[in-house]
């Protein structure tokens, strides 16, 4: 039977199921509006969703579905952790934090928990990691899992890389290096973009025009492309001046990213500047510093905080991509992007040795997990600050 | 005969802050064929929600939790979507508050007009188009044969509102819901729209629910009036009876607002130096001139009301006085001393003497500062007071604006009501101990009862502190109650200027006359009499255009 | 119509101006190198004679302004210079014969075509899926479907491209060998085989772009459905289908076109990492390789091409949304 015929048959079956669902629902509830006004497309959606869930449960017990099982276990594990964390937050802490946790969706509490864990790991990497990040430990290519039968070693729970460094330690130090550098870069980008953005919004005139037009031009070059171009040039400077390339990277990405921050802070600033209370302060005779720091900034914190999260993700992904491409954070510093590139060939063993393939995915997953977490928190913040307008 | 619309003990809830909150608490009403019911109430009274519920419609996040709505015997609460669709547009029509936003920008007016008749199978497209042009003619739209072929953004607000009334009429419905159709319009435009709506509703014997917050408007339009307060019914009666002898205290207080009137002070002694003198001021935004040779004086302890419709330049005049918009020519004097035109060049002392109170208290108070900080800043900035002295002064100011200091000192603006916020705005202006305050439409965003409280407070402060006010407003009722002198503006020029009593007594400048005559009065016969007296072509925009 | 034409011409002019300024920025950035290309190519151990010889070959002894205009006029004629990596420098062979070697244009042209093919396949898959899902999510907002897609798209946006790429390789190339994990396409390959080899990188890009596009479509439609004229249409008793097709769609056109163009522009950046993962012979991979070996003429040229594509797509979005705006099409 061809795959297309199977698909068509499945769709027909779901369609029939949808009709039955609606009909049965109408009869069972005595024609309640929920079933009476239900379009067949919506019923189709319900049946399709149910079919997908049933298929997923069946597939979970399929012997070949190792990665699917891991994914489901991971998902459920994180969901439970997030739920427990939220429960904890609702009962411990000040009145304010308790209230915050009460209206929090599970995704956001998952995000906050993950960010906290990353922060702790990054700060105390030296204490947590069993080995040094550059330490070569003799045994190369130890399989993750710590199970001797599969080629693992309990001393190296996540195995070792091709020159014998402990992957777990490198992942932990990676948190410090990758996250730390990304955080510093974002702060620098905010300092630059925020300062110029608010100045442009408050002063207006030629300064605003000059800054805005230059930012327009810089933003017309795609960020990653521009970063790669500048990194090429920086690599020449770096060898010439003897300054590590990583410093140049921080500066380059911060400058590129500050253009985006400039746009936002200028827009936020302009929205605030037209408010009557700013006019009142101007007419009172207040100076520029008072206007920016006492009147404008306190009203800009919410959107800026959300933007900080988004920009951090963007910077973090750009750095990871550069490192993955081999022009970002330089060895011997442990860094997730570089690790993914170095370990990537292990993916090809996935069919017969799933554990071997998990090493590069762990590094890539570490990147994805943090950005997903930050995005969940930002999404929640934006939703909260926009009220319930939707 | 059974009623056309029968609403019985209707409860409606809205979802906010993760819970259902009541909007309408057990309202009932009944409406006969051809009858017009006025729904009146302040903001938040639930009048729009009730009006929409009469169509069997609730907005997203709003639900009917109990009671019944029957239209011509059909149960609209439990009717299926298909049954309601069959009624909407065909037998029940809706006229929205903002016609500019409620017409689809992508289609011509006439195509939107013919949509309901064609979709409901009442008329063919050609028939409906011809009928639409006829309705445009009856509603006295200019160029009725041609105007329908324009897009909404090509037509003015007042005309759009009439085109929307025509659209509601397209299927000759039994019932039309008018949801504040004239609120966004200027008075001279409003009167035209009112006359047209009343006319056409009478001609086709259509029943209507007319929703508004303006008593004088509803008095012209409705046969019966129902008063709502925060989702509760207050009372209902025939229009004349309701106007002459309201029963409930709340209704009486609403009616009484219109009667607040201050005595006009004696004109200032001739030759005395005015607090503010605006002399031959010309101003423009970029290259567009907005003020032409504007001059007027404001004397100590007097209130000068600056009146005009939107675009007349009254707010621009205020911006020139404060120095936000330096005039092209002319000058501003304060106590006989010529002020620098740009506020940045004025001294702290000069800035202190002229303060401003804004229309929207929401945007005039920094939402991140407490009341104490908001009022304390000018106290510290101008008077140099700090610590306990500053606090004492702020508390004194709070007492002056009749708010309990201990209760409000640490609150944020978002925790106050609209009227309280406006009082904080007044206190902030007073904190500078000025001689002169510009009040820019300070009451127009407030409900009538609250607005009256603000006017009384301003009057009291004027008497005790000898303040001079420049009172910018478009509302002539406010002018009547508080002004000593009146300046009428139109298209950036002063058209008339004099003591209030003279202004409200003929002979007037023709524009002042038109403005005065366009303000609806509480008398239910007012519109009828006015039309009889002047003729339909001598009111509204048509009359403005003739000038 | 005159007004619209003027606005469009204005935008076109602005776009070209931006492109010109961007070319200056790229040129200046490259020329800010300490020393110059010659040292960069030969490294620090180069003999002064060799450096001087290359300088002469590349015309580096002339002023920056002169060089910019000669580079620009060459670029406009399709001559993007000679690749360092492929160059047959006179100094190396010891003769003063003219530069042989492969020109940058020769290197870029076939790879540019490959990248366009990849982007085209991605767009063909992503655009219909994203629009359908976005509109469905907007219509059934706050339903389980909406929440689930929100979580999925947010995760997909947040993940680095190489993570998604390896997951897809894992699932579709290694565990279930359906598609090849290497996209070694070459000239003269049959279309079917080419498509099959391009599918995995295209799917990776689809995941990222669809998520972005879907979220933006959803936001645009929700914004639209909240407008008073949609409520008016519903209050006229029109069928839900008619409300969507006649009243929402004409106004949704501008935002949707904008969303598509912006995301196609986004594809340009995404393509770099994905091409490297799948060893896809496109311009992105060439770019990264050239960055690593500091082949500056190629870097400069690819950068200009990426920027030009990005600017043009944004310009297109701008112009199309002007054309679909009734207020601008029918001026007062």
Domain ranges in chain A are 1-61, 68-390
Mind telling me how many Å the CA of A144 is from chain C's nearest CA? 17
Burial per residue of A46-81, b for 16 or more beta-carbon CB atoms within 10 angstroms, e otherwise? bbbeeeeeeeeeeeeeeeebebebeeeeeeeebeee
Query: What mean pLDDT is reported for chain C?
Result: 80
Cα within 13 Å of Cα(A218), Cβ side: 22
Residue ranges of E strands in B202-310: 207-212, 224-229, 232-238, 276-285, 288-298, 303-307
Contact assignment for C174 to A347 by CB distance below 8 Å: yes
pLDDT at C88 exceeding the cut of 50: no
Q: Give the span between the Cα atoms of C272 and C280, in whole angstroms.
A: 10
Contact assignment for B103 to C229 by CB distance below 8 Å: yes
Q: Give the span between the Cα atoms of B325 and B307, in whole angstroms.
A: 20
- Using a CB–CB cutoff of 8 Å, tell me whether C162 touches chain A: yes
At B381, give phi and psi (nearest 5°).
-65, -45
Contact assignment for C237 to B102 by CB distance below 8 Å: no
- Using a CB–CB cutoff of 8 Å, tell me whether B18 touches chain A: yes
Of C26, C144, C276, Cβ closest to residue A229: C26
Please state the length of chain C: 332
Contact assignment for C310 to A221 by CB distance below 8 Å: yes
The pTM of this model reads 0.83
B289, B314 Cβ separation under 8 angstroms: no
% chain C with pLDDT above 70: 84
Tell me if residue C331 falls in helix, strand or coil. coil
Indicate the domain borders of chain C.
Answer: 33-101, 104-329
* Contacts B75 to A, Cβ<8 Å: none
B518, B190 Cβ separation under 8 angstroms: yes
Q: What residues does B497 pair with on adjacent strands?
A: B487
DSSP-derived secondary structure letter, B266: P
* Contacts C1 to B, Cβ<8 Å: none
Q: Give the span between the Cα atoms of B331 and B276, in whole angstroms.
A: 11
Mind telling me how many Å the CA of A288 is from chain B's nearest CA? 12
**pLDDT tens per residue across span C167-209:** 888 888 887 778 887 777 777 778 888 888 888 999 999 998 8
Q: Pick the residue from chain C with its C-alpha nearest to A370.
A: C158
* Contacts B87 to C, Cβ<8 Å: 237
pLDDT for the residue numbered C233: 92
Max CA separation in chain C (angstroms): 86
Which subunits count as partners of chain C given 3+ CB pairs below 8 Å? A, B
Q: Give the span between the Cα atoms of A255 and A249, in whole angstroms.
A: 10
Q: Which residues of chain B have pLDDT under 50?
A: none
How many cross-chain Cβ pairs, A to B, lie less than 8 Å apart? Answer: 53
Give the pLDDT band of residue C90 (cuts 50, 70, 90): very low
Which subunits count as partners of chain A given 3+ CB pairs below 8 Å? B, C
**pLDDT tens per residue across span A292-351:** 888 988 888 888 888 898 899 989 999 988 888 888 887 777 888 888 888 888 877 777
CATH number belonging to the domain at A68-390, selected among 1.10.3720.10, 1.10.579.10, 1.10.645.10, 1.10.10.60: 1.10.3720.10
Q: Give the span between the Cα atoms of B43 and B417, in whole angstroms.
A: 12
Of A33, A286, A299, Cβ closest to residue B367: A299
Strands B303-307 and B485-490: parallel
* Contacts C247 to B, Cβ<8 Å: 104, 106
* Contacts B102 to C, Cβ<8 Å: 228-229, 231-232
Nearest C-alpha neighbor of B376 from the set B360, B361, B392: B392
Q: Give the span between the Cα atoms of A143 and B171, in whole angstroms.
A: 78
Residue with tokens 């918009």: B325
- Using a CB–CB cutoff of 8 Å, tell me whether C170 touches chain A: yes
Of C18, C170, C299, Cβ closest to residue A357: C170
Residue A315 preceded by cis peptide, ω within 30: no
- Classify A242 in phi/psi space as left (phi over 0), alpha (psi -120 to 50) or beta: left
Contact assignment for A64 to C154 by CB distance below 8 Å: no
Q: Pick the residue from chain B with its C-alpha nearest to C248.
A: B104
Per-residue tokens: A45: 């959606």
pLDDT for the residue numbered C197: 85
Q: Pick the residue from chain C with its C-alpha nearest to A368.
A: C159
pLDDT for the residue numbered C99: 44
Mind telling me how many Å the CA of B434 is from chain C's nearest CA? 45
- Using a CB–CB cutoff of 8 Å, tell me whether C54 touches chain A: no
CATH number of the structural domain B30-56+85-255: 3.40.50.300
Nearest C-alpha neighbor of A281 from the set A271, A268, A270, A292: A292
Per-residue tokens: A183: 């955080």
Which residues does A272 contact at the CB level (< 8 Å), separation at least 6? Answer: A201, A278, A295, A296, A299, A300
Contact assignment for C21 to A344 by CB distance below 8 Å: no
Cα within 13 Å of Cα(C241), Cβ side: 4
Other C-beta atoms closer than 10 Å to the C-beta of B505 total 9
Contact assignment for B116 to C236 by CB distance below 8 Å: yes
What number is the average pLDDT over the span C70-78?
77
**pLDDT tens per residue across span B186-227:** 888 888 888 888 888 888 889 999 998 888 888 888 899 999
Q: How far is CA B235 from CA A251, B229, B242, B524, in A?
A: 70, 10, 9, 18
Of C229, C239, C242, Cβ closest to residue B102: C229
Q: Give the span between the Cα atoms of B374 and B368, in whole angstroms.
A: 10
Strand order in the sheet with B175-179: B92-95, B175-179, B207-212, B36-40, B224-229, B232-238
- The distance in angstroms from the start CA to the end CA of chain A is 46
pLDDT for the residue numbered C91: 42
B166, B143 Cβ separation under 8 angstroms: no
Mind telling me how many Å the CA of B333 is from chain A's nearest CA? 17
Nearest C-alpha neighbor of C230 from the set B116, B101, B176: B101
Q: Pick the residue from chain A with its C-alpha nearest to C15.
A: A220
- Using a CB–CB cutoff of 8 Å, tell me whether B149 touches chain C: no
Radius of gyration of chain C (CA): 25
Contact assignment for A282 to B343 by CB distance below 8 Å: yes
Nearest C-alpha neighbor of B74 from the set B62, B90, B97: B90
Give the pLDDT band of residue C84 (cuts 50, 70, 90): low
Q: Can you state the percent helix, strand and coil of chain C, rounding each to 5?
A: 75, 0, 25
- The distance in angstroms from the start CA to the end CA of chain C is 11
* Contacts B343 to A, Cβ<8 Å: 282-283
pLDDT for the residue numbered C93: 41
* Contacts A383 to B, Cβ<8 Å: none
pLDDT for the residue numbered C39: 62
CATH number belonging to the domain at B275-353+440-519, selected among 3.90.1170.10, 3.10.129.10, 3.40.47.10, 3.40.50.300: 3.40.50.300
- Using a CB–CB cutoff of 8 Å, tell me whether A279 touches chain B: yes
- The distance in angstroms from the start CA to the end CA of chain B is 51
Contact assignment for C141 to A229 by CB distance below 8 Å: no
Which residues does C171 contact at the CB level (< 8 Å), separation at least 6? Answer: A67
Max CA separation in chain B (angstroms): 78
| Helix or strand holding residue B490 (H, E) | strand B485-490
**pLDDT tens per residue across span C217-246:** 888 888 888 889 999 999 998 988 888 888
CATH 3.40.50.300 intervals, chain B: 30-56+85-255, 275-353+440-519
Mind telling me how many Å the CA of B136 is from chain A's nearest CA? 36
DSSP-derived secondary structure letter, A175: I
pLDDT for the residue numbered B266: 74
Contact assignment for B351 to A37 by CB distance below 8 Å: no
Q: Give the span between the Cα atoms of A102 and A90, in whole angstroms.
A: 6
pLDDT for the residue numbered C98: 42
**Which CATH architecture does the domain made up of C104-329 adopt?**
Orthogonal Bundle (1.10)
Interface of B with A in 101-140 (CB under 8 A): none
Q: Pick the residue from chain B with its C-alpha nearest to A298.
A: B368
Q: Give the span between the Cα atoms of B59 and B67, in whole angstroms.
A: 17
Burial of A277 from C-beta contacts in 10 A (0-12 / 13-18 / 19+): buried
Contact assignment for B343 to A283 by CB distance below 8 Å: yes
Mind telling me how many Å the CA of B476 is from chain C's nearest CA? 31
Per-residue tokens: A61: 């017990």
Which subunits count as partners of chain B given 3+ CB pairs below 8 Å? A, C
Nearest C-alpha neighbor of C303 from the set C75, C17, C13: C75
At B31, give phi and psi (nearest 5°).
-140, 130
Q: Give the span between the Cα atoms of A162 and C285, in whole angstroms.
A: 25
Of B16, B78, B351, Cβ closest to residue A283: B351
B142, B158 Cβ separation under 8 angstroms: no
């Amino acid at each position: 039977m061809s795959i297309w015929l199977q698909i068509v048959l499945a769709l027909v079956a779901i369609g029939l199921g949808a009709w039955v669902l609606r009909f049965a629902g109408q009869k069972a509830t005595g024609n309640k509006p929920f079933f009476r006004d239900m379009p067949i497309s919506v019923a189709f959606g319900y049946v399709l969703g149910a079919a997908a869930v049933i298929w997923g449960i069946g597939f979970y017990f399929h012997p070949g579905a190792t990665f699917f099982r891991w994914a489901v276990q991971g998902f459920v594990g994180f969901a439970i952790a997030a739920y427990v964390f939220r429960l904890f937050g609702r009962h411990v802490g000040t009145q304010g934090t308790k209230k915050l946790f009460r209206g929090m969706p599970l995704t956001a509490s998952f995000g906050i928990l993950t960010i906290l864990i990353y922060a702790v790991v990054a700060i105390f990497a030296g204490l947590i990691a069993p080995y040094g990040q550059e330490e070569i430990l003799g045994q190369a290519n130890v399989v993750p899992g710590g199970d001797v039968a599969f080629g693992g070693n309990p001393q190296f729970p996540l195995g070792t890389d091709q020159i014998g460094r402990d992957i777990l330690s490198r992942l932990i130090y990676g948190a410090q290096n990758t996250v730390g550098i990304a955080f510093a870069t974002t702060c620098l980008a905010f300092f630059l973009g925020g300062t110029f953005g608010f100045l442009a919004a408050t002063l207006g005139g030629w300064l605003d025009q000059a800054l805005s037009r230059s930012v327009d031009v810089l933003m017309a070059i795609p960020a990653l492309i521009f970063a790669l171009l500048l990194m090429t040039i920086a690599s020449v400077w770096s060898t010439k001046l003897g300054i590590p390339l990583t410093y140049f990277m921080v500066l380059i990405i911060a400058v590129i990213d500050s253009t985006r921050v400039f746009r936002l802070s200028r827009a936020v600033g302009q929205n605030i500047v037209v408010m009557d209370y700013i006019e009142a302060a101007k007419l009172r005779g207040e100076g520029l510093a008072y206007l920016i720091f006492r009147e404008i900034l306190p009203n800009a914190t919410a959107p800026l905080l959300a933007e900080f999260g988004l920009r951090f993700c963007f910077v973090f992904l750009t750095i990871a991509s550069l490192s993955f491409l081999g022009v970002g954070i330089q060895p011997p510093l442990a860094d997730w992007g570089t690790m993914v590139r170095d370990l990537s060939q292990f993916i090809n063993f996935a069919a017969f040795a799933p554990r071997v393939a998990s090493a590069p995915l762990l590094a890539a997953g570490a990147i994805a997990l943090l950005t997903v977490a930050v995005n969940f928190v930002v999404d929640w913040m934006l939703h909260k600050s926009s009220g319930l307008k939707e | 005969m059974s009623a056309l619309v029968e609403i019985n003990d209707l409860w409606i809830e809205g979802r906010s802050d993760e819970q259902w909150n009541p909007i309408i608490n057990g309202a009932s009403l009944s409406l006969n064929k051809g009858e017009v019911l006025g729904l009146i109430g302040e903001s938040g009274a639930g009048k729009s929600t009730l009006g929409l519920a009469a169509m069997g419609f609730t907005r997203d996040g709003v639900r009917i939790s109990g009671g019944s709505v029957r239209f011509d015997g059909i149960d609209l609460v439990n009717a299926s979507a298909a049954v309601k669709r069959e009624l909407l547009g065909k037998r029940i029509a809706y006229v929205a508050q903002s016609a500019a936003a409620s017409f689809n920008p992508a289609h011509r007016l006439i195509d939107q007009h013919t949509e309901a008749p064609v979709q409901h199978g009442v008329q063919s497209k050609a028939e409906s188009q011809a009928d639409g042009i006829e309705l445009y003619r009856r509603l006295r739209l200019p160029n009725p044969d041609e105007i329908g072929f324009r897009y909404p953004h090509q037509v003015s607000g007042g005309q759009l509102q009439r085109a929307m009334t025509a659209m509601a009429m397209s299927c000759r419905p039994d019932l039309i819901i008018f949801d504040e159709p004239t609120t966004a319009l200027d008075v001279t435009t409003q009167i035209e729209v009112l006359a047209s709506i009343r006319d056409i509703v009478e001609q086709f014997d259509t029943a209507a629910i007319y929703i508004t917050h303006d008593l004088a408007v509803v008095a012209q339009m409705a046969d019966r009036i129902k008063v709502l307060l925060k989702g509760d019914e207050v009372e209902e009666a025939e229009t004349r009876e309701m106007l002459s002898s309201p029963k409930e205290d709340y209704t009486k207080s609403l009616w009484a607002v219109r009667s607040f009137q201050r005595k006009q002070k004696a004109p200032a002694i001739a030759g005395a130096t005015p607090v503010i003198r605006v002399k031959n001021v010309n101003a423009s935004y970029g290259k567009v001139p907005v003020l032409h040779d504007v001059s007027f004086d404001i004397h100590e302890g007097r209130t000068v009301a600056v009146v005009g419709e939107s675009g007349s330049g009254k707010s621009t005049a205020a911006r020139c006085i404060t120095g936000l918009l330096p005039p092209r020519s002319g000058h501003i004097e304060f106590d006989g001393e010529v002020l620098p035109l740009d506020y940045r060049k004025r001294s702290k002392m000069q800035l202190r003497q002229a303060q401003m109170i804004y229309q929207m208290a929401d945007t005039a108070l920094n939402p991140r500062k407490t009341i104490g900080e908001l009022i304390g800043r000018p106290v510290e900035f101008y008077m140099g007071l700090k610590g306990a002295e500053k606090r004492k002064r702020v508390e004194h100011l709070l007492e002056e604006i009749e708010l309990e200091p201990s209760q409000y000192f640490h609150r944020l603006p978002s925790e106050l009501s609209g009227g309280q916020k406006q009082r904080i705005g007044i206190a902030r202006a007073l904190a500078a101990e000025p001689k002169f305050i510009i009040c820019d439409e300070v009451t127009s965003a407030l409900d009538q009862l609250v607005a009256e409280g603000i006017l009384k407070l301003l009057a009291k402060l004027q008497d005790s502190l000898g303040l001079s006010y420049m009172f910018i407003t478009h509302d002539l009722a406010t002018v009547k109650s508080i002004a000593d002198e009146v300046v009428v503006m139109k298209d950036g020029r002063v058209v008339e200027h004099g003591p209030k009593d003279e202004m409200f007594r003929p002979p007037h400048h023709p524009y002042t006359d038109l403005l005065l005559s366009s303000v609806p009065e509480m008398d239910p016969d007012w519109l009828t009499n006015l039309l009889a007296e002047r003729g339909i072509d001598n009111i509204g925009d048509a009359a403005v255009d003739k000038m | 119509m005159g007004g619209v034409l003027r606005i469009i011409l204005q935008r076109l002019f602005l776009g070209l101006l931006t492109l010109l300024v961007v070319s200056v920025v790229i040129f200046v950035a490259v020329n800010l190198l300490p020393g110059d290309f010659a040292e960069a190519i030969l490294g620090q151990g180069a003999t002064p004679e060799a450096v001087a010889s290359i300088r002469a070959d590349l015309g580096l002894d002339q002023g920056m302004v002169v060089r910019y205009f000669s580079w620009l006029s060459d670029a406009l004629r399709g001559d993007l210079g000679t690749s360092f990596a492929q160059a047959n420098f006179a100094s190396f062979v010891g003769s003063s014969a003219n530069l042989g070697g492969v020109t940058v244009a020769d290197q870029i042209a076939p790879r540019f075509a490959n990248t366009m093919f990849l982007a085209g396949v991605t767009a063909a898959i992503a655009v219909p899926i994203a629009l359908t899902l976005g509109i469905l999510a907007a219509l059934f907002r706050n339903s389980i479907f909406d929440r689930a897609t929100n979580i999925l798209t947010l995760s997909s946006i947040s993940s680095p491209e190489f993570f998604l790429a390896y997951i897809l390789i894992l699932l579709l190339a290694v565990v279930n060998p359906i598609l090849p994990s290497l996209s070694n396409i070459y000239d003269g390959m049959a279309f079917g085989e080419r498509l099959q080899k391009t599918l995995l990188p295209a799917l990776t890009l689809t995941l990222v772009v669809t998520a972005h596009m879907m979220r933006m479509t959803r936001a645009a439609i929700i914004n639209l459905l909240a407008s008073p004229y949609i409520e008016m249409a519903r209050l006229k008793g029109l069928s839900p289908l008619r409300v969507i097709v006649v009243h929402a769609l004409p106004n949704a056109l501008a935002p949707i076109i904008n969303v598509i163009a912006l995301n196609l522009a986004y594809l340009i950046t995404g393509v770099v990492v994905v091409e490297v993962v799948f060893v896809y012979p496109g311009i992105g991979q060439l770019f990264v390789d050239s960055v690593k070996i500091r082949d500056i003429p190629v870097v400069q040229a690819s950068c200009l091409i990426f920027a030009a594509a990005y600017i043009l797509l944004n310009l297109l979005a701008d112009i199309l949304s002007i054309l679909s705006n009734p207020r601008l099409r029918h001026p007062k």
